[in-house]
Chain A
Amino acid sequence: MHEKPGEGILKVKSILEKYPKERRYLLAILQDIQKTYNYLPREALNEVRDYLGIPLSSLYSMATFYKALSLKPKGRYVIKVCDGTACHIRGSLDIVEEIKKQLSISPGEVTKDGKFSLETVNCLGSCALAPVMVINDKYYGNLKPAMVKDILESTGD
């Protein structure tokens, strides 16, 4: 579902071509690369540096500052557990704990088989369904820790 780096450098070129060579498009370019590869491959960052003439240090700074960008590949299924206030006071951390237990990963990590990565996010704007999590684009609302196992098991490639 996501491009592998190396074989997909052409994709980076086609992303870059969509944007004029101006600094203000940097964030948009990085986001597009992130969407294509699920992370920012180093080869891609080198291409961006050459295209926009922005030093690698600035790109690295951007990549570590913005949460939408990541330097490590994410899992094929990205679990985002909402820890917005409404979810928090309705027990979102218990959900996180349960996922940690089930998958043996902490937020920010990827399972060994590369299937899942776990993240906590600030607010998905679905406070009425709190606590909520999203796996790729699928929402799961009114969660209880006991529901987690089944949901993870039913999420398949």
Chain B
Amino acid sequence: MKVIIDDKEFEAEYGEYILDVARRNGIHIPTLCHSDAVPGQGSCRLCIVEVYERGKNKVVVSCLYPITGEIKVYTNSEKIHRMRRNIIRLLAARAPGSEYIKKLKEEYGIPEETRFKVDEKEKCVLCGLCVKACEKLGSMAISTVNRGATKKVAPPFEEPPVDCIGCTSCAHVCPTGAIEVREYEGKRVIWNRTFELLKCTSCGRYFITREQYEYMKNRHGIDMKELLCDRCRQKSTAEKLVSLYKKLLVKKTLFQCYRLQKD
């Protein structure tokens, strides 16, 4: 079916999201909470567009609005631009510490905040990707807590999370670099929990936590006699890599996430 975006006509499939069609055709719509690995958030609202459908005009989020009829889309109308600036201003006032947000702020020419009280250190914009990623990978160690203005992401009781395996998927999927990961002397610290790291059997580099390894072994029955880090794994024989990789991909293991993070 046809869809008109910014006065140009494009082909779309029934039910396809506006954002996907726009991206395919090189139209840039800014996003924050959107990730192909963990879709369906619709929370940051950065990707709003104006839609004209059946004589009506509305503001929708392009990442989740399915094209099911003839529509005209404006991705950067005056109104959208104004509101998107406001959203970025709000995000910047919340999380001034994030480099990504700083860049967006510059891009949209938003002046330094003088009206709102800001917390210079905060980086989290509460997009929810970390929670979604953790949920998808199966450990569900963190969640959103509280609600409204006091909402945040935290482990249960705000203590080092018992269910965490230290895989760092949350940190990698985070668009604003808000989740801190520290590594030193064979240890990894995330969410205030310290994990012991295991070495790659090939290059000897620390790369995986014991819990991560146990998790994959128990949950997916993968026995990894050869513990290979990402780099060594790629160097490994092509056939082995492909088959292992496929297997891992299907079973949604942690490696899938590593791969996604790199994308």
Q: Which residues of A are found within 8 Å of B163, using beta-carbon distances?
A: 55-57
Shortest C-beta distance, A44 to chain B (Å), equals 13
Q: Please tell me the number of chain A residues within 8 Å of chain B, measured between CB atoms.
A: 11
Q: Please tell me the number of chain B residues within 8 Å of chain A, measured between CB atoms.
A: 17
Q: Which residues of B are found within 8 Å of A42, using beta-carbon distances?
A: 157
A-B contact count (CB 8 A): 36
Interface string of B121-149 (1 = CB under 8 A from A): 00000000000001000011111111100
Q: Which residues of A are found within 8 Å of B139, using beta-carbon distances?
A: 55
Most chain A C-beta atoms within 10 Å of own C-beta, residue among B145, B154, B156: B156
Shortest C-beta distance, B124 to chain A (Å), equals 16
Alpha-carbon separation in the docked complex, A56 to B146 (Å) = 15
Q: Which residues of B are found within 8 Å of A154, using beta-carbon distances?
A: none
Shortest C-beta distance, B143 to chain A (Å), equals 4
Inter-subunit contact B156/A56 (CB<8 Å): yes
- Can you identify 16 A-B contacts, CB atoms within 8 angstroms? A42-B157, A55-B141, A55-B163, A56-B162, A56-B163, A57-B140, A57-B161, A57-B163, A60-B154, A60-B157, A61-B143, A61-B145, A64-B145, A65-B145, A65-B147, A71-B157
Instruction: Give B contacts to A, CB under 8 Å.
Output: 134, 139-147, 154-157, 161-163
- Would you list the 5 A-B pairs with minimal beta carbon distance, nearest first? A61-B143, A57-B143, A60-B156, A55-B140, A56-B156
Instruction: Give A contacts to B, CB under 8 Å.
Output: 42, 55-61, 64-65, 71
